[in-house]
Amino acid sequence: MNSLNQDLCQIVSRVEVADIPKANQDPYRMRFHLMPPTGWMNDPNGLCWYQGNYHVYFQYRPFQADGSGAVFWGHYTSPDLLNWTQQPVFLTPSETWNLHGVYSGSALPTDDGLYLYYTGNVKHPGNHDYIHTGRGHNTGLAITQDGIKVDSNQLLLQNKDYPADLTCHVRDPKVWEQDGRYYMVLGARTKDDRGEILVYESADKLKWTHINTITTPQVFGYMWECPDLFVLDGQCIVSMSPQGVTQSGNHYQNIYSCGYFPLYGDFRGAYTLGEFRESDLGFDYYAPQSFEAPDGRRIVIGWMGMPDADYTNPTVERGWQHGMSVPRELRWNGEQIITVPVRELEKLRGERKELTFAGKISCERKEGADICITNESDSLEIMLGDDAEIVYRCGLLTLKHTGINACGRTKRVAEVEKLRKLRILIDTSSLELFINDGEQVMTSRWYPEHADTIELSGQGAVTIYDMKALEITYLI
């Protein structure tokens, strides 16, 4: 029983509630996306369905919206992905082996509690580069019976337990059960700057053995963060967020990427990887994590943010920064992953307008909207007031941030041979584009100033739904 963690959770929660009202007054607070109650949010952690609730834990810096300061695990729960409750902070840096941050990890729901595997980050004092020396990346396990309060917290693996050719950067355990055994993947950076995934196996959830390493024949980035491995409609998928992949044409336009390989063979033994595809082509999507819903759907949530990017978010001055993507359902179509918003979100749809257009039309935009377009021509232009435009022409779909509040965002491009359909989820400060029923996705934060109209030019039909807000109950 770690009582220091419990004490710190209570203290943090007491301090953070004082700041929640300030963040919630901001007009850029989103309507149907999870955000940090106050301060900074990054990766989704421990996503699962456990004891009648969805759990979304997340990387949380409640005291500094700019991302500095200690890293905690924040926590939301929901029975239906629509009504959310903020829970007290779950994990704090309170052990010698996690002192400088309780980093990302994942959930394993079991009959004897919810097991949460995560990385304990330690920065040793001294003159270090914190890549080759000076950093501890420890794999820890927090067990909770009720999902709300940590009952035990233990160290499982330290850097000396990982293969010898690695730097100190080994993190973000994702754990699952398969064939009566337990498996863990960890993201790693080798000493010669190659990104890879370590595969561990366990019979008892506590003792872990390194059984395989997954990487590409050619170096593909120097570090693979937040790995995930799952079977989707019969296809084994390895997903991760690689760092150090340089831009090539319209691919890898962001500083860091995220995407997936189909894996053929056995992840525990001989395997080959198929073609890598990016999960998202917008400015702000990183570190996605998937989990299995109680009805068997594979659902993914990504962080609507991008570490170390040169674009920014004006909400920092208002005491908060970043959010989560909407939960998205994944399917495998035999060739690639198809990604669509979970159907629960359709319950947020309110008033609906249906229009056909040949030429230009303009309509009013509410704060939240779900826009479904059927395109019947080889070009299409959508102006979201003065703040963003989406242009399809010559097989390229371009998202351009044009407003004074683009905060450094310029344009991102998706190659789309034929645009048949486009669904756009617009929130107060985010845009999510689902191209051709989810073949490609673009996620971006936007901070509109003059975007109360939507103008469409081209030929096709559009249905526009106003979107109601999620019910979020904060701790205050």
Q: How far is the CB of 71 from ligand FRU (least distance, A)?
A: 5
Distance CA 410, CA 337 (A): 27
Q: How many CA atoms, within 13 angstroms, populate the side-chain half-sphere of residue 10?
A: 4
First to last CA, the chain: 27
Q: How many CA atoms, within 13 angstroms, populate the side-chain half-sphere of residue 211?
A: 18
What tokens does 324 get? 């989560």
Nearer to ligand FRU by Cβ, of 102 and 397: the residue is 102
366 DSSP assignment: -
Q: How far is the CB of 123 from ligand FRU (least distance, A)?
A: 12
What tokens does 410 get? 């310029």
Sheet arrangement for strand 72-78: 320-321, 39-50, 53-61, 72-78, 83-91, 471-473
CA atoms 435, 437, 442, 447: torsion sign: positive
CA atoms 37, 39, 40, 46: torsion sign: negative
What tokens does 117 get? 């595997």
What tokens does 365 get? 């935009």
Distance CA 202, CA 108 (A): 13
Q: How far is the CB of 279 from ligand FRU (least distance, A)?
A: 14
What are the residues binding ligand FRU (CB under 6 A)?
Answer: 42-43, 59, 71, 103-104, 119, 171-172, 225-226, 286-287, 307
Q: Rounded to the nearest 5°, which phi and psi values hold at 47?
A: -65, 130
19, 26, 43, 386: which one is catalytic? Answer: 43
The string of DSSP letters for 234-266 reads TEEEEEEEEESPPPBTTB--SSB--EEEEEEE-
Residue with tokens 């990427």: 257
Beta-bridged to residue 371, according to DSSP, are 424, 464
What tokens does 205 get? 């959830």
CA 195-200-203 angle, 5° bins: 170
Distance CA 154, CA 1 (A): 10
CB 456 within 8 A of CB 380: yes
Q: Rounded to the nearest 5°, which phi and psi values hold at 348?
A: -85, -5
In 3D space, the residue among 80, 430, 440 whose CA is nearest the CA of residue 259 turns out to be 440
80 is catalytic: no
Q: Which of the residues are catalytic?
A: 43
